[in-house]
Copies of this chain bind each other. A is one copy, B any other.
Amino acid sequence: MEGSASSLIVAAAGAHGDPVAPVVLALALILLAAKLGGELAIRLRQPSVLGELVFGVLLGNLTLVGFDGFEAIKHDDTINMLAGLGVLILLFEVGLESTVAQMLRVGVSSLVVATLGVVAPFLLGWSVSSWLLPEASIYLHVFIGATLCATSVGITARVLKDLGSSDSDEARVILGAAVIDDVMGLVILSAVTGLIVAADRGQAFTAGTILGPLVKAIVFLAGSLTLGVAVTPRLFSAASRMRAPGVLLATGLAFCFALSWLANAIELAPIVGAFAAGLILEQVHYRSFVDRGEHPLEALIHPIASFLVPIFFVLMGMRTDLRAFAQPGVPALAVALTLAAILGKQACSLGVIGKGVDRLTVGIGMIPRGEVGLIFANIGLGLSVGGEHIVDAASFSAIVAMVIVTTMVTPPALTWSLGRVPKRT
């Protein structure tokens, strides 16, 4: 409802002046950038996600040459949400390509890989921080160590998909380990944050701060996988008795969204829930739909993913501020942290159990820190003890730089690494 006469003239002149207009313009731009970037990457024999990231970086840093027409897109709520839905759909799609049984077969490998991939970067990050920033508090060292822990599974999942390798054993070890180290990273972050907040308030720090999130996470994963496997066939069998069009797609999406929400409610990343939903769902559950001539769920999800997933990667590129690299004191710390992040995750390759899984590929697949690293850095920026911020602007920029570089090096590195190994089909 309009208030003043002047706003009415505007409303009357553009009676339909629809809030969807700037969003669709941004979407058209993002889709074109994604495809042009993807095309360039493919011609250079790289996965298209790298091109989407790079073209995103280009669009997002046009401010450096004086053009700021795209700045609003970076902070548009709808675009941000569509990107968030995109990464959920991506993880759901990747999860659909594996079954729970296949994941359990590599479960021990994933667990060991995840543990090594959390411990090594944590210790390396701590060491680098105390070496380069000797005057900083121990809290900063611990915090920087924590930001290096969690793998951002989105990039790796997408590269594996681009290269047609998402149903390989390497993919399962990496994705399983990424889910587990997301949980571990969360536990460490909760513990470190609890420690810092307790120190700031002069309160005692209890074991519950660490154990609470851990127990919840284990209960969620074990519970959703076992319960899901028991309940899903009945859910889809009931749905298959419906005659309305689009029931399979709607049921699949609703299942993915419900588990994403549940993961968040239990204080895990929503993508963990989306991945779990994809794992639980198997072709056999919705065979009656396919038998009567409907497309399988993967084929229905694919166009939605083609639309939404590039939004996430272009936006991630757009939000990369290249000026962060140029701040004083940042380059040295950024280089050291990036090396710690990359080398730390190579410890993962030691954890791969059994033959036929390429260890180097697993180590490389665990490198990207992406959005999880940025979430951690963001939280660290707001933490303080006795009024003094734990993470200062320079350390924050170095963490951002580490996230950018680990995200950018993974696609070409993984392409190279998977190219070395003959495909087992």
Contacts and interface: CB of A to CB of B under 8 A. Distances in A.
Contact of A24 (B17, B190, B197, B261): B261
A20 B200 CA distance: 31
A101 interface: no
Contacts of A186: 15-16
A251 B36 CA distance: 11
Interface string A44-62: 0000100100000000000
Identical chains in the assembly? 2
Contacts of A239: 35
Nearest to A6: B197
Interface in A240-286: 242-247, 249-251, 253-255, 257-258, 260-261, 264-265, 267-270
A28 B249 contact: no
Chain A binding surface SS class: helix
Interface stretch (A123-131, A378-386, A397-405): A378-386
A280 to B, nearest CB: 15
Given A8-B383, A254-B32, A382-B1, A15 B190 contact: yes
Of A31, A34, A39, A265, chain B has the most CB atoms within 10 Å of the CB of A31
Interface stretch (A81-89, A226-234, A327-335, A356-364): A81-89
A14 interface: yes
A310 B250 contact: yes
B190 A18 contact: no
Contacts of A268: 16
B20 A247 contact: no
Nearest to A270: B18
Given A16-B269, A189-B15, A264-B16, A35 B244 contact: yes
Nearest to A77: B77
A25 B85 CA distance: 12
Interface stretch (A66-74, A170-178, A301-309, A341-349): A301-309
- Give the contact-size bracket for chain A: 35 or more
Contacts of A253: 27-28, 31, 307
B258 A18 contact: no
A244 B44 CA distance: 12
Contacts of A34: 250
A291 interface: no
B261 A25 contact: yes
A207 interface: no
Given A15-B186, A15-B193, 13 more contacts: A1-B381, A1-B382, A2-B381, A3-B382, A5-B201, A15-B190, A18-B269, A20-B264, A27-B254, A35-B247, A35-B251, A39-B247, A48-B244
20 contacts: A1-B382, A5-B197, A8-B383, A11-B193, A12-B190, A12-B197, A13-B213, A15-B186, A15-B189, A15-B375, A16-B268, A16-B372, A18-B269, A20-B264, A21-B261, A23-B85, A24-B257, A24-B270, A48-B244, A249-B306
